[in-house]
A and B are shown apart, each in its own frame.
Chain A
Amino acid sequence: MIKAIIIDDEPLAREVVKEYLQSFPDVQVLQECNDGFEGLKAIQQHQPDILFLDIQMPKINGFEMLELVEELPAVIFTTAFEEHAIRAFEVNAIDYLLKPFSKDRFEKALQKWLSSRTVTTTAAAAPQQTAQLLETASASMPTQSNRIVVKINGKIKIIPVQDVHYLEAADDYVKIITQEGAFLKNKTMAFFEQTLDPQQFARVHRSYMLNVNQVTRIEPYEKENHLAILRTGAKVPVSKTGYPRLKAALGL
């Protein structure tokens, strides 16, 4: 049996997927979800093999939800959203279905995944593909840059980017320091460099990125290095290569 979850905020859109799935008796829809919050909970509970996922949804969008999933299942996007991401998707995605889509198109997408699954016997290829797709696609999502979604004690927290003081690399994670405290996110600094507005966030150091609106003072520190002093009093190291970037972001 193949475990599937449908996540879409429109009931009729879910109906279409369910109807098309009738030709695949192996695939069982374990749950239908209205938004990313529900979706995340359902994924943790059921550990599905495949997701049918909309992108624009209330609270958090499809991409933001996937960022919080630890074991990525295979994903087929179903959306009317056709921005630049499409091209990236078509290269990497298991599939990307533009609403409205035909039954043929849907079956082709699912068939493609099913056959790749039997060939590799493990489903390892799919999550890898999805993760790759995510990196390329989320960078081109315009709504990505004004908030960061994190998970804390199993709950989802949405941080508006203006509340972020700075970001610090911490092994496989990035520590997001805000006035409410620090949050961890399983991402790279490069990811944040791509998604955050370069006017507002400067990569000032290999391990640091800071919100330029928080900077009150820049002091020289050792030779060729600097320290940025934030409003909170926090000191963030600025490297030799990071200094010009900080100055550019500050408009100096």
Chain B
Amino acid sequence: MVVTTYIAILVYGVLLIQWFHLSPATAWVDSAVHILLLSAKVSMITQNLAYYRPARGKYIFVLSYSTVLSAIWLALTYWVLKYIFPNDKTYIEWLNAAVPVHFIVAWLVITAMAVKALVWYDIAEQREEGQRREASERLSREAELYKLRQQLQPHFLFNSLNSINALIAIRPQQAREMVLKLSDFLRGTLKREDQQWIPLPEELQYLQWYLDIEKVRFGHRLSTEVTSTPESEVLQMPPMLLQPVVENAIKFGLYDTTDAITITIKAWQQDEMLFVQVQNPYDSALQQPNRGTGFGLSSIRRRLYLLFARHDLLETSSDQLIFTTLIKVPQTYDKSHNN
């Protein structure tokens, strides 16, 4: 920009001297005033366009803006040069005669530079937006994949298949039962993808399959108590809300202990809300539930917040032996869609 201005001053000055036979002093001052002010206007309009480009009618905006700037530029140069050379009659006459030409040239220069800037900023913006869109698409794809992998729980699945493999040889009847339970559980996992809310008994049945499979895997070490009050059986809940809690209970209560354990799930109605409580024993020597995010409940809390915009729906407590998770589900679903 600075170099261009400097060259323009030189070229214009030489032109004035050679073509219009102005005296060198007058020519250089005239050139400097015109070109410097023009350069100022150009940088003004390009700077402005960097921060403000109207969404609609941007070319009309640029044309009228450059017209106004050209007029201001013309008035300024005219006034400044008249002020510098008040007594040079021939020069002032020449200046007067050059007004239309000056205006047209200035307008052309300012408009051309402004349009160039406009196009350049638009392209930069598009490129940036493209990158942003690409990044966000990649993120959501990764999240989707992660979710799918988590839902299938490969670890659980392969260990279950391994148990079936053992049972086929020693207790074929039980192997068959296990295959059926695993199928029911997997079908439940796939089905709940597109379901908005599901009845509590359905969710509890689904968890029961899951727990039954774990019972087969771990022999007599696991026992479960799943109970719900009669009035709570008409209540509904979002799918995949309780499962991570029960998975946690299994992880810390069963996978990380060696004794016989009981996992209890209780559901009841209170204050127009569904309460579900999950209790599991844990090894207090190995796990410190209050320390860090070891119990992996932060994602459940986040899910509840996304669904209900409330932070008070998940409560946990622990004594030396038992870890308790309590989930409250407000009955806010659209009841008109029920069958």
Stretch at the interface among B38-46, B80-88, B213-221: B213-221
**Quick check: A59 and B256 within 8 Å, CB to CB?**
yes
Residues of B contacting A95 with CB < 8 Å?
Answer: none
**Quick check: A59 and B258 within 8 Å, CB to CB?**
yes
A37 to B: closest C-beta gap in Å: 8
**Quick check: B162 and A16 within 8 Å, CB to CB?**
yes
CA distance A59 to B216 in the complex (A): 21
Counting chain A CB atoms within 10 Å of each CB, the highest count among B165, B170, B216, B217 belongs to B165
Does A13 lie at the interface of the complex (its beta carbon under 8 Å from any beta carbon of B)?
yes
Does A140 lie at the interface of the complex (its beta carbon under 8 Å from any beta carbon of B)?
no
CA distance A158 to B164 in the complex (A): 34
**Quick check: B255 and A11 within 8 Å, CB to CB?**
no
**Quick check: B166 and A15 within 8 Å, CB to CB?**
yes
**Quick check: B158 and A158 within 8 Å, CB to CB?**
no
CA distance A15 to B175 in the complex (A): 13
**Quick check: A10 and B154 within 8 Å, CB to CB?**
no
**Quick check: B258 and A34 within 8 Å, CB to CB?**
yes
Known: A10-B217, A12-B217, A15-B166. A58 touches B158 (CB 8 A): no
The digit string for A1-34, where 1 denotes a CB below 8 A from any CB of B, is: 0000000011111011001000000000000001
A49 to B: closest C-beta gap in Å: 24
A19 to B: closest C-beta gap in Å: 5
Does A181 lie at the interface of the complex (its beta carbon under 8 Å from any beta carbon of B)?
no
**Quick check: A98 and B163 within 8 Å, CB to CB?**
no
**Quick check: B162 and A99 within 8 Å, CB to CB?**
yes
CA distance A10 to B254 in the complex (A): 11
B2 to A: closest C-beta gap in Å: 41
**Quick check: B219 and A11 within 8 Å, CB to CB?**
yes
Task: Specify the chain B residue showing the minimal Cβ separation from A19.
Answer: B169
Contact of A12 among B162, B255, B257, B286 (CB under 8 A): B162
Known: A34-B258, A58-B258, A100-B161. A12 touches B155 (CB 8 A): no
Does B159 lie at the interface of the complex (its beta carbon under 8 Å from any beta carbon of A)?
yes
Residues of A contacting B166 with CB < 8 Å?
Answer: 12-13, 15-16, 19
**Quick check: B169 and A59 within 8 Å, CB to CB?**
no
A2 to B: closest C-beta gap in Å: 22
The digit string for B265-293, where 1 denotes a CB below 8 A from any CB of A, is: 00000000000000000010110100100
**Quick check: B155 and A81 within 8 Å, CB to CB?**
yes
CA distance A251 to B257 in the complex (A): 38
**Quick check: B162 and A13 within 8 Å, CB to CB?**
yes
Residues of A contacting B241 with CB < 8 Å?
Answer: none
Known: A19-B169, A99-B158, A100-B158. A56 touches B163 (CB 8 A): no
**Quick check: A99 and B159 within 8 Å, CB to CB?**
yes
Known: A59-B283, A80-B155, A80-B158. A16 touches B217 (CB 8 A): no
Does B167 lie at the interface of the complex (its beta carbon under 8 Å from any beta carbon of A)?
yes
CA distance A80 to B162 in the complex (A): 9
**Quick check: B165 and A80 within 8 Å, CB to CB?**
no
Contact of B218 among A10, A59, A80, A82 (CB under 8 A): A10
A34 to B: closest C-beta gap in Å: 6
Residues of A contacting B291 with CB < 8 Å?
Answer: 160
Task: Specify the chain B residue showing the minimal Cβ separation from A15.
Answer: B166
**Quick check: A58 and B257 within 8 Å, CB to CB?**
yes
Does A168 lie at the interface of the complex (its beta carbon under 8 Å from any beta carbon of B)?
no
CA distance A158 to B286 in the complex (A): 8
CA distance A142 to B166 in the complex (A): 29
A77 to B: closest C-beta gap in Å: 13
CA distance A158 to B256 in the complex (A): 14
The digit string for B105-122, where 1 denotes a CB below 8 A from any CB of A, is: 000000000000000000
Task: Specify the chain A residue showing the minimal Cβ separation from B255.
Answer: A58
Contact of A10 among B163, B169, B288 (CB under 8 A): B163
**Quick check: B255 and A10 within 8 Å, CB to CB?**
no
**Quick check: B255 and A13 within 8 Å, CB to CB?**
no
The digit string for B149-160, where 1 denotes a CB below 8 A from any CB of A, is: 000001100110
Residues of A contacting B159 with CB < 8 Å?
Answer: 10, 13, 80, 99
Residues of A contacting B258 with CB < 8 Å?
Answer: 9, 34-35, 37, 58-59
Residues of B contacting A10 with CB < 8 Å?
Answer: 159, 162-163, 217-219
A40 to B: closest C-beta gap in Å: 13
Contact of A58 among B154, B162, B164, B256 (CB under 8 A): B256
B70 to A: closest C-beta gap in Å: 55
CA distance A15 to B288 in the complex (A): 34
A-B contact pairs, 13 of them (CB 8 A): A10-B159, A10-B163, A12-B166, A12-B216, A13-B163, A16-B162, A37-B258, A59-B256, A98-B158, A100-B158, A100-B165, A160-B288, A160-B291
- Chain A interface (Cβ within 8 Å of chain B)? 9-13, 15-16, 19, 34-35, 37, 56, 58-59, 80-82, 98-100, 158, 160
Q: Across the A-B interface, give the 4 residue pairs with the lowest CB-CB distance, nearest first.
A: A80-B158, A99-B162, A12-B166, A100-B162
Given contact pairs A59-B256, A99-B162, a sample of 13 additional A-B residue pairs in the complex whose CB atoms are under 8 Å apart? A10-B163, A12-B219, A13-B163, A13-B166, A15-B169, A16-B165, A19-B170, A58-B256, A58-B257, A99-B159, A100-B162, A100-B165, A160-B291
